[in-house]
Amino acid sequence: MRACRRYGLLVDILAAIGLLVGTTALCAAQAPAPKAASRASPRTRTKAADKADFETVCEACHSASIVSDMRTEGEWRETVEHMVSIGAKGTGEQMEAVMRVLLRTQTKVNVNTATAAQLPLVLDISDAAAQAVVKYRARHGHLKTLDDLKKVPGIDAAKLDARKDRVVF
């Protein structure tokens, strides 16, 4: 009888140790990787570096080619948050890269309501041109057509034509 109690106690102790080791391993696996000190800032990162992070994060679960519809920035943020909630893994920097790729490639923007910060990546314009859009809109009222948007100083008409399917009025 004593041997059974000792054996039962030993099993309980080993189970507790296993639970502790398993929990520690799980926490370590879910902890974000430390950021490298030499990483470039979002402003100086290349499109290729952002795309590599996008593929690393997104293709861990599905093909990146399924990302094919146009959404607003807010809709993409909700989608990325949902993906994280169901298991997508990546550092904060990688998730920012995912958003930059989505903004550059799959995002539509309402040029009459967007802030200057929301315009550059979507329309492939400079920060100064984005500020000019906001100022032009404030002075002249809502933009109604692509031609109206092309009148804004600093806007490259050819780049805008290439992204016309992403502009909402």
The pTM of the full predicted model, rounded to 2 decimals, is 0.73
More confident residue, 131 or 2: 131
CA angle, residues 32, 37, 40, in degrees to nearest 5: 100
More confident residue, 43 or 163: 163
CB atoms within 10 A of CB 24: 10
What span, in angstroms and rounded, lies between the C-alpha atoms of 153 and 102?
Answer: 26
Q: Hey, where are the domains in the chain? A: 42-107, 109-168
What span, in angstroms and rounded, lies between the C-alpha atoms of 166 and 105?
Answer: 9
Grade residue 23 by pLDDT with cuts at 50, 70 and 90. very low
Helices (H), the chain: 2-30, 47-58, 73-85, 92-105, 120-123, 127-140, 146-150, 157-162
